[in-house]
Amino acid sequence: MCGIAAYLGQRLAVEILMDALRRLEYRGYDSAGIATLEHEKIHCCRAVGTISVLQRKLTDSPIPGSMGIGHTRWATHGSVTELNTHPHFSMNGKFAIVHNGVVENFASIREFLSLQGYVFYSDTDTEALVNLMAYHYAKEPANATKDRFLESVRKSLLHVRGTYGIAVVCQERPREIIGARNSSPLVLGIGKGELFLSSDVASFTAHTRDAVFLNDNELVHIKNDSFAITTLDREEVEAVRQQVDWDTVAAELNGYPHFMLKEIFEQPQALENALRGRIENETATAHFGGLQMTTDELRSINRIIFCACGTAWCACLVAEYLIERFARIPVEVEYASEFRYRNAPLDPKTLVIVISQSGETVDTLAAMREAQRRGTRVLAITNSVGSTIAREANGGIYQHSGPEIGVASTKAFTSQLCIVALLALHLGRLRDLSEAEGMEIIGAFKQLPSQAKSILDQSAHIQTIAARYQNCSDMIFLGRQSMFPVALEGALKLKEISYIHAEGYPAAEMKHGPIALVAPQCPVFCLACGEENIFEKTLSNMQEVRARGARTIVVAREDSPIGATDDVIWIPPAHAVTSSILATIPVQLFAYHMGVLRGCNVDKPRHLAKSVTVE
């Protein structure tokens, strides 16, 4: 959940690290800190709050050095205080560390070190780890044949249970940094005469596109302008360099007031990117280059399990509707955090598909590994090339949405919906979906980007609607069939961005309890733009809540007779395969405008981080 960065080169480290932390702030923003090393002295600056607070402190009291480490925090162990802010130091001041992850056995490590006379000043698990390194460093003979710094880190990590992505410096080794990872991302950036470490390539792509993604239980030892990678078992690892295709400009605001709004408006392009090269007109199907499955293997599938968390889980629910409808394959949707601990029956004809924008979501990664351990093939849908899930999956599909900085997912979500719709077409055409039906779906895909733009043109209208409801404390979102997951996503977005309590329900389920909540102060957001055979039933459900005093907002197709409502947002008529994508956009804009009108930080909602890399 936290963002870590490290730099070793010739430039002023604090400038490089501060730029990196700004790009990583979506991973955590309750506190931040930097430590640099010069002439065997560690300089440090830490601050509670956003990166801007740290910047003000550094402006007043700059710190020198051409190497250092930085951290932006999402608190796990210990409250948000300066003492709990990273970097953390060993009691003797020789070691400094930044850490993303959770040391599950920190209490026993801390107890052991306390008996050795070590004193602790924070409530964090990280301080136990850095003191353990100092303990092993002190035990290692100064004239040992093995590298004393590297061995102290290695031996300490062998005692750790949990997850970590770390960068460590040692006062007595002024031109060296050690990084290591286990279930928490860490990537090395290779520049000209300088090296970078980070939890996200976006932090250094302004300086280099040459990257090496570390695997679990690997350490990288940086010395001056060289590096070596080994495993915890001291085996040498050959570095696999990759060129990162990442547009740094795309991670800037470019005139928009918030990243969330910018990314909502980038959706027509993101949808084009998801579709590009994947439509085959001649065979009326979709094509994917990375599935790593033959046609016969795909035809033999008799069950699909989707696993994801949060917004991506809502995308899985849409996939369930589309694949069952167009490909006639039974689909189940699991929370990855639950699936990893279940003993779900799996067989060779079951396919598991995981969805993760970051490719680093810890529960989704664990669910994927569990399925693979049991011999099941796993495909991944992800936006991050080189991510752990992308590297470890048996095959997959990249979203190509570009960087998404806003914590609340927008363009990545609709891109996921587009890809699962393409997958439904692909699997359907391998079975009994006719060529005519395939061409009809392809026609819908071709209209999708322009239709998305037409909805974005209604942003001011949606803002006007949001202004009428900004003071409500509760809201209900209703939808049926493929609109039900959109209702869930709408409720989630409103909760994330505006802190309004919201719930999503299948529209017909209102009568089974939730209708008791209906009142004038609890508006109902109704998605009446799904399958035609249940359109009238959805309207009836809406009228039931209106009859009990609820104000209603309706998303409906331009050609639909919707009857009485308080507010309406029109979307273009669309095929069932793309309607959920189009219905999502007004929901996103509504949540965005509600959050802004209520004075919330829509890019950095409280208590949330973009990539959940701790359990």
User: Left if phi > 0, otherwise alpha if psi is -120 to 50, otherwise beta: which for 292?
Assistant: left
Domain that holds residue 297: 253-454
Do 479 and 562 fall within a single domain?
Answer: yes
Q: How many residues does the chain have?
A: 615
Confidence (pLDDT) at 611: 64
State which of 409, 426, 454 marks the end of a domain: 454
Mean pLDDT, range 212-221, rounded to an integer:
95
Sign of CA pseudo-dihedral 180, 186, 191, 195: negative
By annotation, the residues acting in catalysis are 2, 610
Do 446 and 501 fall within a single domain?
Answer: no
Do 415 and 496 fall within a single domain?
Answer: no
Do 212 and 259 fall within a single domain?
Answer: no
Do 391 and 433 fall within a single domain?
Answer: yes
Confidence (pLDDT) at 513: 79
Q: How confident is the model at residue 565 (pLDDT cuts 50, 70, 90)?
A: confident
Strand partners, 71: 4, 33
Q: How confident is the model at residue 250 (pLDDT cuts 50, 70, 90)?
A: low
Confidence (pLDDT) at 44: 96
Confidence (pLDDT) at 542: 77
Note the pLDDT tens digit of each residue in 335-349: 999 998 888 889 999
Do 200 and 293 fall within a single domain?
Answer: no
- As given in the structure block, the two tokens for residue 177 are 């940094």
Do 147 and 112 fall within a single domain?
Answer: yes
Please state, in angstroms and as integers, the Cα–Cα distance from residue 422 to each residue in 143, 283, 442, 478, following that order: 61, 14, 9, 26
Q: Specify the number of domains making up the chain.
A: 3
Mean pLDDT, range 507-518, rounded to an integer:
79
Tell me, what amino acid is at 232? L
Task: List, in order, residues 6 or more apart from 222 with CB less than 8 Å away.
Answer: 6, 8, 176, 177, 178, 179, 188, 195, 197
CATH code for position 393: 3.40.50.10490
Q: How confident is the model at residue 145 (pLDDT cuts 50, 70, 90)?
A: low
State yes or no: cis peptide before 573, omega within 30 of 0.
Answer: no
CATH code for position 76: 3.60.20.10
Q: How confident is the model at residue 197 (pLDDT cuts 50, 70, 90)?
A: very high
Q: How confident is the model at residue 615 (pLDDT cuts 50, 70, 90)?
A: low
pLDDT at 244 over 90: no
d(CA 202, CA 388): 16
d(CA 57, CA 41): 19
Do 361 and 448 fall within a single domain?
Answer: yes
Angle at which helices 125-139 and 106-115 pack, to 10 degrees? 50
Note the pLDDT tens digit of each residue in 7-57: 999 999 999 999 999 988 877 778 999 999 998 899 999 999 989 999 999
Mean pLDDT, range 387-400, rounded to an integer:
93
Do 285 and 386 fall within a single domain?
Answer: yes
* DSSP code at position 519: B
State which of 432, 454, 476 marks the end of a domain: 454
Do 472 and 431 fall within a single domain?
Answer: no
213 in helix, strand or coil? strand
Confidence (pLDDT) at 144: 67
d(CA 144, CA 322): 62
Q: In the chain, what is the straight-line distance between the N-terminal and C-terminal CA atoms, in Å? A: 10
Do 82 and 214 fall within a single domain?
Answer: yes
Query: Other CB atoms closer than 10 Å to residue 270's CB: what's the count?
Result: 25
Name which of 120-124, 164-168, 286-290, 610-614 the model is least confident about: 610-614
- As given in the structure block, the two tokens for residue 69 are 């480490």
- As given in the structure block, the two tokens for residue 21 are 């932390």
Do 363 and 491 fall within a single domain?
Answer: no
Query: Other CB atoms closer than 10 Å to residue 176's CB: what's the count?
Result: 19
